[in-house]
Structure 1
């Protein structure tokens, strides 16, 4: 028996097989367009929110109207406020507090500074100031803090009651420079120990000169000798000095200088150089 199976036309089968990838491509494009539209909407919403935030922060209600400064004794309040560099109309919500603190710290008298907001209209600046620890003589006379920062230059008429450190050699410095070294720290320690020891009754150290060999010279002032010593074992050096001075039977003003650097003796030089 012969059966005749009817099949579709070959061209129609090819058309159906070609329609499937076209439909898949159209579906992919539709999804892609949807994703792009969603991204555009999200971007638009983000920009609108950002613009709204900018408008909110720039409202006149939040403009900086007052600035308070706390903890300042040496530096004038107006000087601290001016160092912020805040333009009129600046929003309290837009200022960079860390950047403002760094600006305040450029003043050598200020050791620590923090700036905080006081909503809705004010900023508060809290500072910790440095205090002068000594007069440092280099090319000129300067006030020096305990952490070795040059605070300011001294005028000729300024005579603070502070220890004076003289550099071993002339050097150029300026306010704001940090120059603390182990020699300078020891020089200040020498001054303190000399004052506490009261080795010379009624006399105070007017100036400490740093020597190039690690020694220090204590100048007692007009018509008084200079005393040269080491920073180590100062108490023992001053004890031997007091005993030797008493044994000499002479007043300290009769000597030109005294050398305490030797372990076994104290060297007195008279005004004539002997």
Structure 2
């Protein structure tokens, strides 16, 4: 009974309050709810206005592009790709889009770009390192992972051994085959007698194995498919006996168990030496 009486009293008080006063109270309550929203709208509007001004100010225009990590790619070509993004203001500049444009360059393995306010872009590039050329439907540069990544051009200014004999392989087996050749070239370099730079060709035959061709003399060195370390020792002894000179030699066959078989680039018969 007491509760009902109190509720009745409150209703009577409200009814007794003038409409104008009740309207003012209701308005204050509404403003109490809306005021944070209004403030937020005003703040966002102010921020947007300031941001628009920042996008138009010459102070934040890109004026410098620093590039690190270049050896094969020209800075001018890379900067041209970065500017192809099209935005001059550093705040509006699309870093992700520009990075993808830079990574379209075949010699670029990966790239990162960051803004340095007020007007500088810093670009760090990791290049692919070509270690050989492979002959497929054309000549292609090969990186350290065994991946052909760019069609070779004399404009590249790169002199590397050409891997031949893999033209018939499908894509699934090609990379493994190239990696095997690169491992073999590493062994050649470790032998100390030849370097990849001194070779013009590495031919791969499924049956006969590896054949090397020297760049300067054009001498074929038949290595085969196994016992590489022993054969490199034979080659070292043979070249030491000749003072490293391969002039007049057509081929050197290291596959004969008796020793090194040498074919001379003359009408004379092949010469066999017991250099085993």
Scaled by the length of structure 2, the TM-score of the pair is 0.63
Question: In 2, are the aligned partners of 1:62 and 1:121 still within 8 Å (CA)?
Answer: yes
- Superposition pairs of residues 138-157 of structure 1, within 5 angstroms: 138-155=136-153
Task: Select 1:218's aligned residue among 201, 204, 211.
Answer: 211
More helix by share: 2
* Other structure's SS at 1:181 match: helix
* Other structure's SS at 1:101 match: helix
| CA displacement 1:178-213 (0-9 Å, x = unmatched) | x9834322312212323443679xxx5432234558
Task: Select 2:187's aligned residue among 193, 198, 201.
Answer: 193
Q: Give the aligned partner of residue 133 of structure 1.
A: 131
Question: In 2, are the aligned partners of 1:257 and 1:268 still within 8 Å (CA)?
Answer: yes
- Counterparts of 1:140 and 1:65, CA distance in 2: 41
* Structure 2: unaligned runs, 5 residues or longer: 1-5, 239-245, 264-268, 271-276
Q: Give the aligned partner of residue 32 of structure 2.
A: 34
User: More deviation in 26-35 or 112-121?
Assistant: 26-35
Could you say if the C-alpha distance between residues 67 and 172 of structure 1 is closer, same or farther in structure 2, counting changes exceeding 3 Å?
Answer: farther
Aligned residue pairs: how many?
A: 240
* Structure 1: unaligned runs, 5 residues or longer: 1-12, 174-178, 245-250
1:105 matches 2:103? yes
* Other structure's SS at 2:65 match: strand
1:86 matches 2:85? yes
- Counterparts of 2:26 and 2:231, CA distance in 1: 95
Q: Give the root-mean-square deviation of aligned CA atoms.
A: 4.7
Could you say if the C-alpha distance between residues 239 and 256 of structure 1 is closer, same or farther in structure 2, counting changes exceeding 3 Å?
Answer: closer
Scaled by the length of structure 1, the TM-score of the pair is 0.64
Question: In 1, are the aligned partners of 2:113 and 2:121 still within 8 Å (CA)?
Answer: yes
* Other structure's SS at 2:146 match: coil
